[in-house]
Chains A and B, each alone.
Chain A
Amino acid sequence: MTNKRTGVFVCHCGTNIAATVDVKKVAETMALEGTVAYSADYVYMCSDPGQNAVIQAIKDNQLDSVIVSCCSPNLHEGTFRNNAIRAGINEFTCEIANIREQCSWVHKDRAAATEKAIKIVRSAARRVVRNQSLDSIAIPVTRRALVIGGGIAGIQAALDMANAGLDVVLVEKLATIGGHMLQLSETFPTLDCAQCVLSPKMVEVSRHPKVKLMTYSEVQEVSGSMGNFKVKILKKPTYIDTEACKICDDCSVVCPVVVPNEYDLGLTSRRAIYIPFAQAIPASYVLDENACLGLHPIRCGKCKDVCEVGAINYDMLPQVVTEEFGAIIVATGFDLYPQEKILEYGAGNVPDVLDGLQFERLCSASGATQGHVLRPSDKKEPKEVVFIQCVGSRDPAQHCAYCSKICCMYTAKHAQLYKHHVPDGRAYIFYIDIRSGGKGYEEFVQRTMENDGAVYLRGRVSKLHRTKDGKVRVMGTDTLTGQNVEIDADMVVLALAMQPSKGTEEIAKILKIGRDKDGFLAEAHPKLRPVESVTGGIFLAGAAQGPKDIPETVAQASAAAAKAIILLSQPMLSRSPTIARVRNSHCTGCEMCVDACPYVAIRLENGKAVVNEVLCEGCGACSATCVRAAIEVKNLSLAQVNDMIEAVMTV
């Protein structure tokens, strides 16, 4: 054991580490370790001279293993393992001791921080004594990609990957692709019609020979890892043969069940058998099994009787298909924060208090009122409309702490659209700040104020209620004049916060990817890896990752697609070789590890456990279960952990 020659390199990181940790002392203390042949400190180990010094020291001192004590291994492990290779030693004999994020940055007491840093570095140095030289495992790649979510983000990502030659499956929960963007009337800051710019993309993705659309489908189960995922997808029954359906509308005319239309956010109604909207893709009717009287000719059967082509099949069953993919892009989008939670604004019970998406449907040419702005309660043209921003956003005490980013802009757009529809109407906007960062955004808001004469009032609305004459009384404060403001409005539009869509939590659990404190999908690094999840091979796009507008969503979707294309264009993927290893002399074939393995990677052969190298992820569940210490993870063996504990407890 004493013939081991480890080099320890302690980084100052400028003053990031050196200000709180006595790096010289760390290096000197480490030099006393029996296995440490070389120990040095340097101001920036990751700089070119720093790296060269590491390489030179390895060569000059015939080092066989290296500890770099610096920042988190997530940042520079790759850098220094690469240096190990350049110096002619195995990359897996290089380990990182994190004395910045887990030490110098979180402590002020220099003596205590130095002592802790020594413990951290010493434990890494003791561990590396037993590190084996390993070679990465090469695995083949499945050249197919899965996109979850058929909104603009999912459509864009699917198109980009398909155009790069990959086979793509696009899974959408609802009966049609399009997402929330399709519900919008016009888009800021150009006021081009949302459907007009989105529907060509929808058509393109549906006709693309490389894209397979799976609407009315949900991802149920995901196994495997980067490069080779196995995904179970549930195809819910629509009870309609999409190929045969002629979209003649005969069925919905005779259907006796009337329910609120989700696409118009309840402003209109639909039948139990319906087409979500005219441009729906796939263009087909759907039978809503929850609304239908019973999917049975004896109960009702009117639609089936009237369908000339026989496209309706009450006996259609859910189908589960298993597909294999190399990469997954998650684009599950957003929902509006529920109006029911905003008690001071009537919790959704005051008539003519709408949310932003409902107002979009009122303005839209395809909407409830064919593009005439009429208030829902009496179908009259509202002459005074109050728009309230930051409803649920920027309210850490009661609702969401974050800024939803798009509401300043879409409220300005709403005011403009309203004034275009009702030129003699008055638009009031309550705001906290105006945040209009973006190309042409500030000019757009200015136009709303100057050309369209919207009245901006800085302040929050304390409450609102319905008056006897059918108006909505809005009580707020204009904090610029210090005056209380009371407006009897004909209609109120709430700019509700954006939150991750309803299925996001579940899909995150299925995919084993993290979410942030607000429930949005977490990126691997907030600045440098914004479209990757922490799990290799799973990428993020759109509002499921955080509030964002359409241009940003499209950019992120293309970025995620590019990341997936990069991954899937490699001939082979290399996987970490730090996986489980069986010590045959100790194994009794008790099968405890076989049961503990979450990946079914262990089987018994001739009475001994055998590890499947492709399936094993190296989690160590097997080694924690084995009573005879017969199975352990390479380079993090029981003996190594024992040595690390010993090192940590040595004063």
Chain B
Amino acid sequence: MSDEQVYEPKVVAFLCKWCSSAGSDLAGVSRIQYPANATPIQVMCTGGVSPMYVLSALRKGADGVLVSGCHPGDCHYIEGNYLARRKLHLVKELLEFVGIEPNRFRMSWVSAAEGGKFAQVVRDFVEDLRPLGPQDKVKADRS
């Protein structure tokens, strides 16, 4: 057995109740396996995800933040995911501005019928985060 620990990125996943959280439930019902790196936090709508949530997660030591909602046009709350898309795009730019790899933040559209896609989104994101290594640019010193 190797002593070397594989780096496991820590991901906070904000999932909207109606599509992505339900899609994540479907992945469970279908027993589709994916890495345990992402811990879900259910929100009502991605439109309710404040950019502060993303920054707060990074500040608290997250290596990546995923926001996943209904497909464009399918939002349960009419247009919440459009609001999210516009707003969170700016978060990416802000991250770049403050010197954090913008790829640490990702948005995806996963419907309630897409259990397989949800698992793939998590798998891909975790794999894409590995080469970036631990995020410590804005992580608060907690020692």
Q: Is B29 an interface residue (CB 8 A)?
A: yes
B87 at the interface (CB under 8 A from A): yes
B137 to chain A, nearest CB (A): 15
Q: How large is the interface on A (under 10, 10 to 19, 20 to 34, 35 or more residues)?
A: 35 or more
Do B12 and A116 touch across chains, with their CB atoms under 8 A apart?
Answer: no
Residues in B whose Cβ lies below 8 Å from that of A113: 36
Q: Which one of B24, B36, B74, B84 has the highest number of Cβ atoms from chain A below 10 Å of its Cβ?
A: B36
The reply to whether A619 and B113 form a contact with Cβ atoms under 8 Å apart is no
Among A29-37, A94-102, A239-247, A415-423, the one that faces the other chain is: A94-102
Minimum CB distance partner of A512 in chain B: B76
The answer to whether the Cβ of A573 comes within 8 Å of any Cβ in the partner chain is no
User: A112: which of B21, B24, B36, B87 is its contact (CB, 8 Å)?
Assistant: B36
Known A-B contacts A74-B25, A516-B113, A642-B56; the reply to A623 vs B50 at CB < 8 A is yes
Inter-chain contact A620/B45, CB cutoff 8 Å: yes
Least CB separation from B29: chain A residue: A101
Residues of B within 8 A of A102 (CB): 21, 24-25, 28, 40
Q: Which residue of B lies closest to A509 (CB)?
A: B73
The answer to whether B94 has its CB under 8 Å from any CB of chain A is no
Q: Are B119 and A624 in contact (CB under 8 A)?
A: no
Contact B77 A598 (CB under 8 A): yes
In the complex, A204 Cα to B21 Cα: how many Å?
44
Bits for A620-651, please: 1 = Cβ < 8 Å to B, else 0: 11011100000001001010011011101100
- Please, how many angstroms separate the alpha-carbon atoms of A276 and B68 in the complex? 47
CB atoms of A509 and B53 under 8 A apart: no
Chain B CB within 8 A of A596 CB: yes
Given the interface contacts A522-B113, A620-B44, A620-B45, does A106 sit within 8 Å of B119 by beta carbon? yes
Residues of B within 8 A of A621 (CB): 45, 47-48, 77, 80, 83
Whether the Cβ atoms of B25 and A98 lie closer than 8 Å is yes
Give per-residue flags for B50-61: 1 if the beta carbon is below 8 A from chain A beta carbons, else 0: 111100110011
Query: For chain B residues 14-69, which have a beta carbon within 8 Å of chain A?
Result: 18-19, 21-22, 24-29, 31-36, 39-45, 47-53, 56-57, 60-62
| B75 on interface, CB distance cutoff 8 Å | yes
In the complex, what's the smallest C-beta–C-beta distance from A601 to chain B, in angstroms?
11
In the complex, which residues of chain B have a beta carbon less than 8 angstroms from the beta carbon of A512?
74-78
In the assembled complex, A599 has its CB within 8 A of some CB on chain B = yes
A381 at the interface (CB under 8 A from B): no
Cβ-defined contact, B78 with A101, below 8 A: no
* CB-nearest residue of chain B to A624: B50
Chain A hits for B104, CB < 8 A: none
The answer to whether B112 touches A522, judged by C-beta atoms less than 8 angstroms apart, is yes
State the CA gap A66–B62 with chains docked (Å): 28
Give residues of chain A (291-306) contacting chain B, Cβ–Cβ below 8 Å. Answer: none
* B79 in contact with A618 (CB, 8 Å): no
When the two chains form their complex, are residues A100 and B57 in contact, meaning their CB atoms are under 8 A apart?
no
Q: In this assembly, does A514 line the interface, its C-beta being within 8 Å of a C-beta of chain B?
A: yes
Given contacts A105-B28, A638-B52, contact A514 B45 (CB under 8 A): no
Q: Given A517-B113, A534-B22, A648-B39, do A619 and B48 touch, yes or no (CB 8 Å)? A: yes
Q: Once bound together, how far apart are the Cα atoms of A8 and B43, in whole Å?
A: 21
Nearest CB of A to B136, in Å: 13
The yes or no answer to A378 lying at the interface (CB within 8 A) is no
Q: Chain A residues near B56: list those with CB within 8 A.
A: 641-642, 645
Contacts of B83 in A (CB 8 A): 596, 621, 624-625
Contact yes or no, B12 A648, CB < 8 A: yes
How far is the CB of A237 from the nearest CB of chain B, in Å? 29
Contact assessment for B43 and A636 in the assembled complex, using a CB-CB cutoff below 8 Å:
yes
| A485→B39 CA distance, assembly (Å) | 57
B86 shortest CB reach to chain A, Å: 11
Q: Which of B19, B22, B32 has the most CB of A within 10 A?
A: B22
* Contacting pair B27 A106 (CB below 8 A): yes
Check B78 against A599 for contact (C-beta < 8 Å).
yes
B106 CB → nearest A CB, Å: 16
User: Which residue of chain B is the closest to A620 with respect to CB atoms?
Assistant: B48
For B18, give its contact among A73, A534, A646 (CB under 8 Å): A534
B93 to chain A, nearest CB (A): 17
**Is B114 engaged at the interface, CB distance under 8 Å to the other chain?**
yes
B interface vs A, CB < 8 Å?
10, 12, 18-19, 21-22, 24-29, 31-36, 39-45, 47-53, 56-57, 60-62, 73-80, 83-84, 87, 111-114, 119
13 other contacts beyond A105-B29, A598-B77, A648-B12, with CB at 8 A cut-off?
A101-B25, A102-B40, A105-B31, A106-B27, A112-B36, A116-B36, A120-B39, A512-B78, A514-B113, A517-B113, A619-B80, A620-B45, A649-B60
In the assembled complex, 23 residue pairs joining A and B whose CB atoms fall closer than 8 Å, in A order, are A101-B25, A101-B28, A103-B28, A107-B33, A108-B33, A115-B36, A116-B36, A509-B74, A534-B22, A535-B76, A596-B83, A617-B77, A621-B83, A624-B51, A636-B48, A638-B50, A638-B52, A641-B50, A641-B53, A641-B56, A646-B60, A648-B39, A648-B41
Closest 10 A-B residue pairs measured CB to CB? A620-B48, A101-B28, A619-B77, A105-B28, A112-B36, A598-B78, A621-B47, A649-B60, A619-B45, A101-B25
